[in-house]
């Protein structure tokens, strides 16, 4: 190749890099992610451009799908007005948790609108040992429909136990709809999905991975864990369907797995149902419309309980990072104590600064993370944030009993947040996630007790010792942090 052609190719490549950098600047909301992608595009020839177009395009600006399930615009308007009216009524209840967190409730009402629901029964389920018996019991009682949506569903003992109930219920005439993430649940694609469909279960992959489209589809994962039964009983939290979540004596060689889930009965389930149907209509290509079988009236639940529940959900289909905003608001509203458990901690500047401000303001801020993560790289990036937090007075605990996978936050023993979202860039920007927010002193108090039990099995980081670590460890962590926005 002569020098003239080589020069032309170099000029074309430089122009291409400039154009991609301009695209990154225009398309990426986070300045940290923008800087990371620009550095990647400039310093990794060809490969950086490929990685950006595979993983970096902001689908919040060009939504992957329209989550609107009600096609009649007038009906949609009336329903939203009813949600607002109903929620404002609950907002005025004499509830200490609501009184101290009205701004959080209003945020979700205005952004969703996610209804603020009363008359719910809420049960905290610790680990698979408590979750799966409750799930199997609820599934057995289904009379009209079962909706189930999971990031990870495995073809193992518990997976097959739930499969057996789903198949039997489908044959009894119960409508069973099943959504699985095509990446997270790849072990069930061939055999189990075929068995489910043969038994009458309607099963579809969410955003099916097809070779060249694989990168973007792999990047935008449905990380939700949702079960809705007859529109009135729901499960939400961090526990997928897999034997690894069950800590039983006959699995003594298995790593201890610490996780948290909720069983909700009452109108709080309605937003879970709405999310499921939006996801279903997208991946199944159907137009299931809401009715009273899917969304029972509130008086059908009374007097199930007295808990006030609201959902926070977001993903590439959202106008805004709702889950991130809800966590920020909860942190800002806290007055005494913030307790956070998360398996993946790459919080970004907004969460990091909010926690530092709270700690410097005199609040007790405690963070429980894995001592050993299932991702060495993510764990290394996470450690780069610890120094700033420790200097501000945040207490950080490394869980040593096993792997802590729970995603929870408790503020002031009044508000409890339990869901699928990790405290990282992926959950805030890329994944489809859902968190349940319970405004209740009893539920928050129980989760607070669980948190303090968990830190008995954790090692508290000594700020002085942490600050004295070798420079090369800090360098490795800060280098990992540079690409953390792309994880």
Residue 414, classed as helix, strand or coil, is: coil
| Domains delineated in the chain | 3-56 (no CATH), 120-307 (3.30.870.10), 322-486 (3.30.870.10)
Q: What is the pLDDT of residues 326-374, one digit of tens each?
A: 999 999 999 999 999 999 999 988 999 999 999 999 999 999 999 987 7
- Residue in 184, 146, 66 with CA at minimum distance from that of residue 431: 184
The pLDDT score that the predictor gives to residue 439 is: 97
Counting Cα atoms < 13 Å in the Cβ hemisphere of 323 gives 31
pLDDT band at 40 (very low <50, low <70, confident <90, very high): confident
- Residue in 255, 245, 249, 300 with CA at minimum distance from that of residue 119: 300
Residues forming the active site: 223, 225, 230, 405, 407, 412
The pLDDT score that the predictor gives to residue 474 is: 81
Q: In this structure, what token pair is assigned to residue 239?
A: 């526990």
- Find all residues with CB under 8 Å of 361, minimum gap 6, and list them: none
The pLDDT score that the predictor gives to residue 478 is: 77
Q: Please provide the DSSP assignment of 51-112 as one string.
A: HIIIII--TTTS-SS-------HHHHHHHHHHHHHHHHHHHTS--HHHHT-HHHHHHHHHHS
Alpha-carbon distance 413 to 481, whole Å? 32
- Does residue 91 contact residue 116 with C-beta atoms inside 8 Å? yes
Return mean pLDDT, the chain: 87
Q: What is the pLDDT of residues 190-210, one digit of tens each?
A: 899 999 999 999 999 987 766
Report H helices in 187-291. Answer: 191-198, 214-219, 269-284
Alpha-carbon distance 143 to 33, whole Å? 47
Q: What is the pLDDT of residues 141-191, one digit of tens each?
A: 999 999 999 999 999 999 999 999 999 999 999 999 999 998 889 899 889
Q: What is the pLDDT of residues 57-90, one digit of tens each?
A: 655 545 555 555 655 555 566 667 777 778 888 8
Beta-carbon count within 10 A of 26 CB? 10
The pLDDT score that the predictor gives to residue 410 is: 98
pLDDT band at 112 (very low <50, low <70, confident <90, very high): confident
The pLDDT score that the predictor gives to residue 318 is: 82
Place of tokens 């408590």: 130
pLDDT band at 453 (very low <50, low <70, confident <90, very high): very high
The pLDDT score that the predictor gives to residue 214 is: 47
Pairing mode, if any, of strands 260-265 and 117-126? antiparallel
């Amino acid at each position: 190749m002569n020098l003239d052609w080589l020069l032309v190719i170099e000029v074309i490549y430089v122009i291409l890099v400039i154009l991609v950098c301009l695209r990154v600047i225009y398309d990426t909301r986070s300045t940290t992610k923008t800087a990371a992608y620009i550095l990647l595009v400039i310093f990794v020839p060809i490969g950086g451009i490929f990685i950006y177009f595979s993983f970096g395009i902001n689908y919040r600006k060009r939504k992957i799908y329209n989550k609107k399930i009600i096609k009649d615009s007038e009906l949609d308007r009336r329903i939203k007005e009813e949600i607002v009216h109903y929620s404002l009524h609950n907002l005025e209840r004499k509830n200490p948790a609501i009184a101290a967190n009205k701004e959080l409730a209003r945020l979700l009402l205005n952004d969703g609108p996610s209804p603020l629901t009363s008359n719910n029964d809420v049960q905290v389920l610790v680990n698979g040992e408590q979750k799966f018996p409750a799930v199997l019991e609820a599934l057995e009682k289904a009379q009209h429909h079962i909706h189930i949506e999971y990031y990870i569903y495995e073809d193992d003992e518990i997976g097959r136990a739930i499969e057996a109930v789903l198949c039997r219920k489908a044959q009894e005439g119960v409508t069973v709809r099943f959504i699985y993430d095509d990446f997270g649940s790849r072990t069930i694609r061939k055999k189990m999905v075929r068995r489910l469909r043969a038994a009458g279960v309607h099963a579809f992959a969410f955003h099916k991975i097809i070779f060249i489209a694989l990168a973007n589809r792999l990047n935008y994962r449905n990380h939700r864990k949702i079960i809705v039964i007859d529109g009135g009983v729901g499960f939400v939290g961090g526990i997928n369907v897999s034997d690894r979540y069950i800590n039983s004596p006959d699995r003594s060689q298995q790593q201890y797995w610490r996780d948290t889930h909720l069983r909700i009965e009452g109108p709080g389930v309605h937003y879970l149902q709405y999310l499921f149907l939006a996801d279903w209509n997208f991946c199944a290509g159907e137009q299931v419309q809401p009715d009273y079988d899917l969304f029972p009236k509130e008086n059908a639940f009374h007097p199930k309980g007295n808990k006030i529940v609201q959902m926070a959900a977001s993903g590439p289909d959202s106008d805004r990072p709702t889950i991130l905003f809800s966590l920020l608001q909860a942190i800002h509203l806290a007055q005494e104590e913030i307790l956070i458990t998360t398996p993946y901690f790459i919080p970004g500047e907004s969460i990091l600064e909010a926690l530092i401000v709270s700690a410097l303001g005199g609040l007790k801020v405690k963070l429980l993370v894995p001592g050993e993560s299932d991702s060495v790289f993510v764990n290394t990036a996470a450690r780069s944030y610890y120094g700033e937090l420790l200097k501000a007075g945040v207490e950080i605990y490394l869980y040593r009993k096993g792997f802590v996978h729970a995603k929870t936050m408790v503020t002031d023993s009044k508000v409890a947040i339990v869901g699928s979202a990790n405290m990282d860039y992926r959950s805030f920007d890329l994944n489809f996630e859902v968190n349940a927010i319970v405004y209740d002193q009893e539920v928050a108090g129980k989760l607070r007790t669980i948190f303090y039990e968990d830190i008995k099995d954790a090692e508290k980081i000594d700020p002085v010792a942490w600050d004295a670590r070798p420079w090369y460890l800090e360098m490795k962590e800060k280098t990992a942090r540079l690409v953390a926005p792309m994880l």
